[in-house]
Homo-oligomer: A and B are copies of this chain.
Amino acid sequence: MQVPPSSDTLTPTEARVAESVDRDLLVQSIQRLVAVESWNGQEGPAQELMAELMTDVGLDVDLWPIDLDEVTAHPDCSWEIEREQPLGLVGTLPGTGDGRSLILNGHVDVVPPGAEELWSHPPFGGVVERGRIYGRGALDMKGPLLAGLHALRALREAGVELSGTVHLESVVAEEDGGLGTLATILRGYRADGAIVMEPTDLFVAPAQAGCLNFRIRVPGLAAHGAVRDEGVSAFEKMFGVYAAIQRLEVERNQGKEGDPLYASYAIPFPISIGTIRGGDWASSVPDHVTMEGRMGVAPGEDFDSARGELEATVSQAASEDDWLRDNPPEVEWWGGRFLPARTSPDHPIVSVIHGAASSVTGNKAPLEGVTYGADMGLIANVGSTPAVLFGAGDIRVAHRPDEYVEIEDLVTMARTLAVAAMRFCG
């Protein structure tokens, strides 16, 4: 047996490990986990099932009640959904030597299924059809999380022992800000590198955008709609604020084309308005309208700077309007927020996963940042662990009816992770 000169070829041991990924067991475990509903903060049963699956694979299981007082006191904690007693869970494959340690991170919480009639398959059914598994969380990210588990299972099946330790982190509350990953960091889990198994479509993503949720309330003056010119429509005043935000988005994205990790995005750091609510009565001039949205934050930018830019833009728009000058809109920052992060493409955690992906597939995996926020921000910034995003499936299928993941992609992912663990941990 000999280590090949290029990482683009699998060694015989690596090939044996890759072959040990069991497609059928992987699919069955995903079907079981998808069937356990884990939205709206109800992640306990999903964590317990994950602990059982980790035990079956032979990992050392650390399942603990998260100390909510401790974690919510942390300055980087954010969340939207109240939880009574969330659970932390890490399965560890101890290393036999002093090789580099590795974290594989994935979340069990999912977004709500939405209207069931929009689904062709039951959202928690885990139906397999034409090589895909359908269900809420199949893609984001119970499928990828279990691909991580099955990578470690393949290592054990193939009898390979690693020098460095691998921690498989199964976390809660990623979708609403990352409280679960933060709790895992506070419990002490750090490593020489981390792979956050978000669905990147098997691209290697060494950068993620951050994001901030905002709420802007624009005031008006009520009047009967029959004499609407005696009032001030909050909607009409909102238009000017909206246009100013659109101009700010253009400004904030100018020059960002220079970053090769974001070169393929027309708008890498968008400012998007998601909800509008205003007025109480069809026949009244509306005296208020509230917009909620999310603001992308570039790697390297801090939250205060981003917040300041939006606030200044709204103030400036207000100062140019006779009504808003005296009745200024209010900007509020709320809900989940995600720290941006960027790891150098030269860092071993990036080059190893990139090389492993090329070796397993025979193709060079693209290297590209993502525009959404995920737990990489906490792991890199708070946990001081250089991290990369890598997982099967297209994020655009997430948070939608008929969410699905291709089984073949999950198998490729599991094989890549197993090979990457061997190369990273030694």
Which A residues are within 8 Å of any B CB, using their own CB?
Answer: 209, 211, 213, 215, 222-230, 233, 235, 239, 242, 265-267, 270, 272-286, 289, 292-294, 296, 335, 370-373, 395-396, 398-400
Contact = CB atoms under 8 A, between A and B. Distances in A.
Given A276-B279, A278-B275, A282-B335, A294 B225 contact: yes
Nearest to A275: B279
Contact of A267 (B229, B274, B293): B229
B286 A274 contact: yes
A371 B294 CA distance: 41
A211 B276 contact: no
A141 to B, nearest CB: 14
Contacts of A292: 279, 282
27 contacts: A213-B282, A215-B282, A224-B395, A224-B398, A225-B270, A225-B274, A226-B296, A226-B370, A226-B371, A226-B372, A226-B373, A227-B265, A227-B371, A227-B372, A228-B267, A230-B396, A233-B273, A272-B285, A274-B280, A274-B282, A274-B285, A275-B279, A275-B280, A275-B286, A276-B276, A277-B277, A283-B294
A285 B271 CA distance: 10
A395 B226 CA distance: 10
Contacts of A222: 400
Contacts of A266: 229
Count copies of this chain in the complex: 2
Nearest to A234: B276
Contacts of A223: 396
Contacts of A400: 222
A113 to B, nearest CB: 13
A230 B396 CA distance: 9
A274 B233 CA distance: 8
B270 A289 contact: no
Q: Which of A277, A279, A282 is packed against the most chain B CB atoms within 10 Å?
A: A282
Contacts of A213: 282-283
